[in-house]
Structure 1
Amino acid sequence: MSRGPEEVNRLTESTYRNVMEQFNPGLRNLINLGKNYEKAVNAMILAGKAYYDGVAKIGEIASGSPVSTELGHVLIEISSIHKKLNERLDENFRKFHKEIIHELEKKTELDVKYMNATLKRYQAEHRNKLDSLEKSQAELKKIRRKSQGGRNALKYEHKEMEYVETITSRQNEIQKFIADGCKEALLEEKRRFCFLVDKHCSFANHIHQYHLQSAELINSKLPKWQETCGDATKVPEKIMNMIEEIKTPISTPMSGTPLPSPMIERRSMVGRDYDTLSKYSPKIPSAPSARALTSPLIDMFNNPATVAQNSERKNNSTGSSDDPSLQRSVSVATGLNRVKKQKVKTIFPHTAGANQTLLSFAQGDVITLLISEEKDGWLYGEHEDTKVRGWFPSSYTKLLEENEKETVSVPGPRMMQMGLQSLLFSAEKIPLLL
């Protein structure tokens, strides 16, 4: 596309003005927007750090759970990974400030002065060249007027040729100046856009590397994370074994006051004898008024059928006993009913707190029962190691395995009759001593 010198000159001047009036003000606005961008990202990074600190704290809580330990470790690892990614993002935005915002601030002020001086210099040189051309053209007109008189025609003709050559030379010089000036103006504009694009390409490369590293890091961890939460109903084998131990020796009701354990049921028939002996032991504080706590995992795996069976077994054992007073007299007289203190093993820790009537213990401790019957789910006993006495929830304990073998011997009806006859027969032979 062919353009005249004047049109090219206008393009040159408009290019310089666009840089000064549009590009540089646009850079100033970009600097302000970039600073706002930095503040927003910094705020996001701080908020993300606080958020993932919270995730880590919840992970620590889950780590203390018997069934959620692995999930707790995953939450802590997720928190650590995301905080590491946030730190890398922060590093990239420090580069954003150094390589873009700082450079734009430094160059914008200098560029405004430079472009303004360059435009003025171009306009001044262009004006001088035009003035020289116009002056030569005016001299040529004078010579041509003088040569029309006819005198010294050869002399004026020679001068006319010199001015024509001068004018032609100056026109070519002006055209070259305008062309070079336009090229320089366009290149100045392009250099500024190239600078801006180059800086953002560099930052884009940093972000690209950040995302690649983030994807690689997360992809290496994500399958394992997803595997741990794939089945919310899965319980570790160790915990299942513990639950089975809980379910086997003791029946736990669905709600309300805990039912007596099997060990307590077996001793209910000799409870009166033991209560008689306990009168001579130290004074026992009254049981807490509130119902006893149930074990932490007991409701999750409770088996209603077991509760029903235990209740039925309890009724049968109660119904099968004959006259309680006869049993007591026979047991005291013959010694067939062996009264021995039962022991239980704790399956969950218990803390008494400020209540001095309660008993504290850790998991796996052994407690000797001092009262054979439960009271609203509470048992009273003495700690095997500390010798401290107090009340504790029965559902937090199970029958000690060695005690399970030592069942309480209660004579049947036939044995009680034989024992009573033997006692009476012996009494007839022994003289009464007054």
Structure 2
Amino acid sequence: MSGANSDLLHRSTLSVYNNLMDQFNPGLQKLVTLGNSYIKAFEGDVLIQISETQRKLTVEVEGVFRWFHIEVLQAMDKNVKLDEEYIEGSRRIYELEVRNQAATLERQLRRGVFRDSLEGSEYMQYLRQSQHEILKEEERRYRFLAEKHCGLTQSLLYLINKTGVSLQQRADGWKEKVSESRSSRPRTPTPSDQEAQVTLE
């Protein structure tokens, strides 16, 4: 492997670090913000005013989002900061070691001590191992994020399956009652009705 390839491998590894810092952690922070917005949207008594059934549904929904807030959002919010520090520290160590090993390799080449090819050098082994490790770190983080999304989706599906059919039937009943009340309202008297009333009196 040539020096150009080692540089490509190094740049690729740095790119993964940049991806984690520039995309994953901000994406995680956006999920925290979005989750907090969901919680606020479901607070209050708007649904409670309609019926006891909807009050129960609200309690169920709030339970799901409370779980999501405590088990996912708070933990992720805390871990985002810790993860940023860890990734940044790991990157600094990686870059320092790359500089040290590159300098050592350069000194060996100048003195003619270097016997092995660049392909089998400690420097290339370190670059390969570092890229392998940071790709595993990236995979773990995206898997974690996907698992949390799946957990929320499963909780919401459970809630919908548990209450959806019953709520739909009740909502249809409420709609019928509203329609009945509209057609049974007292109508406004017409002029002929008023004349008939005067005649009767």
Question: Structure 2: which amino acid aligns with 1:48?
Answer: L
Over 3 Å counting, the alpha-carbon distance change for 1:11 and 1:84 in structure 2 is same
> How does 1:70-219 map onto structure 2 within 5 Å?
79-140=51-112, 163-165=113-115, 167-168=116-117, 171-218=120-167
CA distance in 1, matches of 2:5, 2:11: 10
Name the counterpart of 1:255: 197
Determine which structure has the larger helix proportion and give its number. Answer: 2
SS of alignment partner, residue 48 of structure 1: coil
TM-score where L is the length of structure 2: 0.78
Over 3 Å counting, the alpha-carbon distance change for 1:7 and 1:48 in structure 2 is same
Question: Structure 1: which amino acid aligns with 2:88?
Answer: N
TM-score where L is the length of structure 1: 0.38
Give the conservation status (yes or no) of the 8 Å contact 1:19–1:189.
Answer: yes
Which stretch of the first structure deviates more once superposed, 125-134 or 195-204? 125-134
SS of alignment partner, residue 35 of structure 2: helix
Give the conservation status (yes or no) of the 8 Å contact 2:68–2:152.
Answer: yes
Give 1:36 deviation, angstroms: 2.4
CA distance in 1, matches of 2:152, 2:131: 32
Question: Structure 2: which amino acid aligns with 1:122?
Answer: Y
Name the counterpart of 1:292: none
Give 1:18 deviation, angstroms: 2.1
> How does 1:27-426 map onto structure 2 within 5 Å?
27-43=28-44, 46-49=45-48, 51-52=49-50, 79-140=51-112, 163-165=113-115, 167-168=116-117, 171-218=120-167, 221=170, 225=173, 232=180, 255=197
Over 3 Å counting, the alpha-carbon distance change for 1:232 and 1:139 in structure 2 is closer
Give 1:221 deviation, angstroms: 4.9
SS of alignment partner, residue 47 of structure 1: coil
**How many pairs does the alignment contain?**
184
CA distance in 1, matches of 2:175, 2:19: 60
SS of alignment partner, residue 158 of structure 2: helix
Give 1:83 deviation, angstroms: 1.6
CA distance in 1, matches of 2:29, 2:180: 55
Stretches of structure 2 that go unaligned for 5 or more consecutive residues are 182-195
Give the conservation status (yes or no) of the 8 Å contact 1:85–1:214.
Answer: yes
Question: Structure 1: which amino acid aligns with 2:110?
Answer: A
Give the conservation status (yes or no) of the 8 Å contact 2:101–2:123.
Answer: yes
Segments of 4+ moved more than 6 angstroms: none
Question: Structure 2: which amino acid aligns with 1:84?
Answer: K
Name the counterpart of 1:22: 23
Give the conservation status (yes or no) of the 8 Å contact 1:92–1:206.
Answer: yes
Over 3 Å counting, the alpha-carbon distance change for 1:170 and 1:215 in structure 2 is closer
Question: Structure 2: which amino acid aligns with 1:82?
Answer: Q
SS of alignment partner, residue 26 of structure 1: helix
Provide the aligned C-alpha RMSD in A: 3.0
CA distance in 2, matches of 1:170, 1:125: 18
CA distance in 1, matches of 2:41, 2:171: 28
Determine which structure has the larger strand proportion and give its number. Answer: 1
Give the conservation status (yes or no) of the 8 Å contact 1:132–1:170.
Answer: no
SS of alignment partner, residue 46 of structure 2: helix
Give 1:209 deviation, angstroms: 0.4
Q: Whose RCO is larger (CA < 8 A, sep 6+)?
A: 2
Name the counterpart of 1:249: none
1:273-331 C-alpha deviation (Å, 9 max, x unpaired):
xxxxxxxxxxxxxxxxxxxxxxxxxxxxxxxxxxxxxxxxxxxxxxxxxxxxxxxxxxx
Stretches of structure 1 that go unaligned for 5 or more consecutive residues are 53-78, 141-162, 234-253, 259-375, 377-434
Give the conservation status (yes or no) of the 8 Å contact 1:100–1:200.
Answer: no
CA distance in 2, matches of 1:204, 1:30: 14
Over 3 Å counting, the alpha-carbon distance change for 1:39 and 1:112 in structure 2 is same
Give the conservation status (yes or no) of the 8 Å contact 2:42–2:58.
Answer: no
Percent identity of paired positions between Structure 1 and Structure 2 = 27
Over 3 Å counting, the alpha-carbon distance change for 1:218 and 1:36 in structure 2 is closer
